[in-house]
Amino acid sequence: MINSSHTNTQPKRWGLTPLKPVNSSLKWGLGISFFILFVALWAFVSFTGIVSSTFLADPISMLEEGYELFTQYNFSHDIIVTILRVLGGFCLAAVIGVPLGIMMGAYKAIEALLEPFVSFCRYLPASAFIPLLILWAGVGELQKILIIFIGSFFQITLMVSVTVSQSRRDLIEAAYTLGSSRWGVVKRVVIPASAPEIAESLRLVLGWSWTYVIVAELIGSQSGIGHMIVDSQSLLNTGQIIFGIITIGIIGLISDMLFKRCNRRLFAWSLL
CATH of the domain at 127: 1.10.3720.10
At 152-162, the pLDDT tens digits run 999 999 999 99
Q: How far apart are CA 213 and CA 218, in angstroms?
A: 9
> What integer is the mean pLDDT of 81-98?
95
Neighbours of 99 (CB within 10 A): 12
Averaged pLDDT of the chain: 86
Is-contact 233 241, C-beta < 8 A?
yes
pLDDT digits (tens, 9 = 90+) for 108-165: 899 999 999 999 998 988 888 888 888 888 888 899 999 999 999 999 999 999 999 8
Q: Dihedral through CA 19, CA 25, CA 28, CA 34, nearest 10?
A: -90
Q: pTM of the prediction?
A: 0.83
Task: Tell me if 40 is assigned to some domain.
Answer: no
Residue span of the structural domain in which 106 resides: 71-261
The amino acid at 158 = L
| Residue 46 domain-assigned (yes or no) | no
CA geometry: angle 235, 241, 242, nearest 5 deg = 145
Percent of the chain with pLDDT over 70: 93
Residue 54: exposed, middle, or buried by beta-carbon count in 10 A (0-12, 13-18, 19+)? Answer: exposed
Q: Measured between alpha carbons, how far is residue 187 from residues 183, 184, 210 in Å? A: 6, 5, 32
The pLDDT tens digits for 190-248 are 888 888 999 999 999 998 888 888 888 877 778 899 889 988 888 889 999 999 999 99
Per residue in 249-264, pLDDT (tens digit) is 999 899 998 988 888 8
Is 24 a member of any domain?
Answer: no
Number of domains in the chain: 1
Range with top average pLDDT, 8-12, 167-171, 223-227: 223-227
Query: Which pLDDT score is estimated for 14?
Result: 55
Residue 48 lies in a domain: no
